[in-house]
Amino acid sequence: MQRVLVPGVLAICVAASGCGSDTVDAGKVESGIVKDLSSPTAPVTSVSCPDDVEKDEGDTFTCSAKLEGGGKAKVKVTQTDNVNSFTYAFEPGTLVLTDDTVEPILEKDLAANGVPGTTADCPDTIKVKAGETVTCTATGSGGRKTDLTFTFTSDDGTIDESSVETADS
pLDDT tens digit sequence for 122-157? 999 999 999 999 999 999 988 999 999 999 999 999
In terms of Cα–Cα distance, which of 30, 59, 27, 57 is closest to 45?
A: 30
C-beta separation of 160 from 148 below 8 A: no
The pLDDT score that the predictor gives to residue 9 is 41
Count the Cβ atoms, other than its own, within 10 Å of residue 80: 12
Residues 86 and 125 in one domain: no
Asked if residue 7 is part of any domain, the answer here is no
Say whether both 106 and 151 belong to one domain. Answer: yes
Does residue 15 form part of some domain? no
Residues 30-56 as b or e (16 or more Cβ within 10 Å = b): bebbbeebeeebbbbeebebeeebeee
118 shares a domain with 75: no
* Residues 74-128 pLDDT 10s: 999 999 986 779 999 999 999 999 999 999 999 999 999 888 999 999 999 999 9
- Cα dihedral sign, 128-130-132-137: positive
The residues facing 156 across adjacent strands are: none
Task: State the pTM of this model.
Answer: 0.82
- 120 and 160 in one domain? yes
Residue 109 buriedness (CB in 10 A; 0-12 / 13-18 / 19+) = buried
In-domain check, residue 16: no
Does 6 map to a domain?
A: no
- Look at residue 130 and tell me if it is in a domain: yes
Is 112 found in the same domain as 159?
yes
How large is the average pLDDT for residues 19-48? 92
How many structural domains are present in the chain? 2
What is the pLDDT, as a whole number, of residue 169? 63
Domain extent for 155: 96-166
Q: Is residue 17 part of a domain?
A: no
